[in-house]
Amino acid sequence: MKRLVALSLALALAGGMALAQPRIVINEFTYDDLSSDDLEFIELYNADTVAVDITGWIVDCGDQLTNDNNRDFVIGDLNEDGTVDTTVVLPPGGFYVIGTSALNTRYPGRVNQTFSPGTAGVIENDNEWIALVIPGNPRTVVDAVAYETNRSAITSWVPEDIRPQLGGGLWGNYQSLEAGGTTDDAFMTIGRWRDGYDTNVNGRDFGHFRPTPGASNNLPALTSRLCINFDNYNVGDAPAEFTGSYRNPRAINPTQGDRTSGTGFNPNAIPASPGGGNAMMVYDWAGGGNVAIANYVFENGTAGYDLQIYINPSNSGFTAGQVETWMIGLLGSPESVHNHPLFLETATTGSANGMTGVGWVFRRSTAATTNPTQPTEMKLRLVDAGKSGDSRLSGSANTWTIYGEIDLTSLEAGWYRLRLEVIDGQVKGLFYADPNNPTVITGTTATGLVGGFYIGYRESLGNAIARVNPVRVDNVCLYIPVQGDVNVDGCVDDADLLAVLFAFGGNNAEADVNSDGIVDDADLLIVLFNFGSGC
C-alpha cells in the first residue's frame, strides 16, 4: 500500500496536480498528570473522508533546550528500535493512540502504540511542541500543537515550519490530575472541541475536559436551556454537570461553614442564596487555584449564562500583595490552575492565565510592596480572552480585550445576579447590583466559536481561611440566547414585545435590546423581526 501511495504522489507531482494534505490531526493529549506522569498520551484522528496510510510518519516532540528535542515516535515502530513493525492505515473517523501502558490499563484496548518500555514522563512538561510530520526533504508538517507558550515567545524556540499550525499555541499551565491526597480523581486532558476541528489556532480548537483516548471527544452540544439549583444534590456531592481540576465542584449549604480538614467544602458561612437551598462551590481547600467546566459544549458562536453569585468586594484584612480572582467564561476553556488573570506576575512578566473565550473577571487585591504595578482594587470586568495570551492590564504585550469594568467598592457583600450572552459575535454582559437596573457592558468578539462554560478561581491569601471567598453560585442557567428575548425565557413572544412597549422611551437595560442607551423603535423592530424564535 505504501508503494501505491508513493507512486500516486510521484505521478501527481509529475503531472503538476495539486494534492490536498491528508487531514490527520493531533486530537487529544496529556503531558503532565499527577506525580509520575504515567497516563501521558497523544491521540491522532483521521478527519479525512478516505483512509490514510500513516506508517512511518513521525510524531515529533521538542522544546527550547539545546540538543533536547525530546523523544519522537515513528508510527508503526512498536518496539522503538528504529524498525517499522506494522502498517498503520487510519480509516475515516479512526483514532490512533500513542501512550503509556498504565493508560491502557485504565482504558483497556485504547492504546495502539505503547511508549517503550511503557515508562512515564516521556512527553515533557513546560513549554513544548508536538508535531505530526511526514518525513522528507523538506518534511511536511501535517499538524502541530504547542503548550505553555506563556513561558517564552514561540519565535525563539518553535521551528518555523510548525508555527503556522499553532495560532500562538496554548497559553497557561495544564495539569491532568489523578486521585491523590490533595486532589479528586478529576483527570482532565487537552482535546479538540470536536474530533478533527482544526482552525490552526490551538487556543480556539482545544478545550480542557474529560479524557477520551481512542474515542470521540465530542461533548453533548447544549441545544436547550439547562438550569441547575443544586437542591437535588447532598452537601459534598460533586454535581454531575461539571468537571473540576484539583477538586471537582461541590454542592454546599451556603449557611453552613465547614472547615473540617480534608473537606472544607464551604470555608465560611454566608447568607442563603435568593433561591434558597443548596449552591455550588468551586474551590481547592488545599489552597491555590481550581477550575470547573460544564460537560457540554456551545457551538456556532452563540451562548449564554444567567446565575447568582456571592461577591465579597472587601479586602479587609488583606496584607500587601494578597489577591483573589475568579473568571466565569463562555465559548472557551480554562487551564487547570487559573493563574490570576489581568495580572503582572512580576514587574515585567505578564499573567500565565490560559483562559479563552469571553467572560466576567473579578478581582479583589492589595498593592504589592515589591511590585508597585499591582493595584489595590475591588473590580468586575467583562473581557475577551480570545485565543488566550498575555493578560497584563497595561503595556503592548497585552492580548486580552477589556470591554469595560465596574468598581465594586461601594457594594455590600451579598448575592448578585450575573449574565453574559454572545450572539453571532455580539457580546452583552449584565451585572445586577440593582436587581431592577443592571449595569450593561457590550462588545464584539469572533464569530462561529465553539467552546464551553467554565469557572476559574484562585486565591493568594496564605492560610487566612477567614478571608477566603471562593466562587459560590446558585440558580445557574446555561442557554442559547435569542435576539429579542427580553425576559430570557428562550422564546421571543408577546411578553418580550410588552416589555419593550412598557419601557419605550426609557433606558431599561433589559428592554434595550441593541444596547444603544434607549428603548426605541430599533428595539421594537428586533423583537418583531425575531418574533417566535426559540419557541
Q: What is the pLDDT of residues 412-458, one digit of tens each?
A: 999 999 999 999 999 999 999 999 899 999 999 999 999 999 999 99
Grid cell digits, residue 187 = 483527570
Task: Check: CB of residue 149 under 8 Å from CB of residue 127.
Answer: yes
Structural domains in the chain plus CATH codes: 2-209 (2.60.40.1260), 289-479 (2.60.120.560), 484-535 (1.10.1330.10)
Q: How confident is the model at residue 67 (pLDDT cuts 50, 70, 90)?
A: low
Length of the chain: 535
> In this structure, how many other beta carbons lie within 10 angstroms of the beta carbon of residue 490?
18
pLDDT (0 to 100) of residue 145: 97
> In this structure, how many other beta carbons lie within 10 angstroms of the beta carbon of residue 90?
23
Tell me what the mean pLDDT of segment 495-510 comes to: 92
Is the per-residue pLDDT at 19 higher than 80? no
Q: How far is CA 74 from the centre of its chain?
A: 31
pLDDT (0 to 100) of residue 5: 37
DSSP string, 219-247: PPB--S-EEE-STTS-TT---TTEEESSS
Task: Check: CB of residue 434 under 8 Å from CB of residue 228.
Answer: no
Average pLDDT, the chain: 89
Task: Give the residue, 116 or 358, on which the prediction is more confident.
Answer: 358
- Report the share of the chain in percent with pLDDT over 70: 91
Q: Which of 55, 14, 473, 394 is nearest to 230 (CA)?
A: 473
Q: Which residue has the cell 507531482?
A: 13
Tell me what the mean pLDDT of segment 481-485 comes to: 93
Q: How confident is the model at residue 66 (pLDDT cuts 50, 70, 90)?
A: low
Q: Give SS3 for 198.
A: coil
**Interatomic CA distance for residues 507 and 522, integer angstroms:** 13
Task: Check: CB of residue 377 under 8 Å from CB of residue 387.
Answer: no
- Angle subtended at Cα 274 by Cα 270 and Cα 279, rounded to the nearest 5 degrees: 60
**Least confident span in 263-277, 365-379, 501-515:** 365-379
Tell me what the mean pLDDT of segment 334-356 comes to: 86
**Least confident span in 141-150, 298-307, 335-344, 391-400:** 391-400
Is the per-residue pLDDT at 104 higher than 70? yes
Is it true that the peptide bond before 159 is cis, omega within 30 degrees of 0?
A: no
Task: Check: CB of residue 5 under 8 Å from CB of residue 90.
Answer: no
Is the per-residue pLDDT at 385 higher than 50? yes
Grid cell digits, residue 477 = 442557567
Q: At what angle do helices 521-529 and 494-502 cross, to 10 degrees?
A: 180
Is the per-residue pLDDT at 80 higher than 90? no
Q: Dihedral angle at the C-alpha atoms of 133, 135, 137, 143, nearest 10 degrees? A: -10
Q: What is the 3-state secondary structure (H, E, C) of 283-331?
A: CCCCCCEEEEEECCEECCCEEEEEEEEEECCCCCCCCCCCEEEEEEEEE
Q: What is the pLDDT of residues 197-256, one digit of tens each?
A: 999 999 999 999 999 999 999 999 998 999 999 999 999 999 999 999 999 999 999 999
Is the per-residue pLDDT at 103 higher than 70? yes
Q: What global pTM score does this model have?
A: 0.92
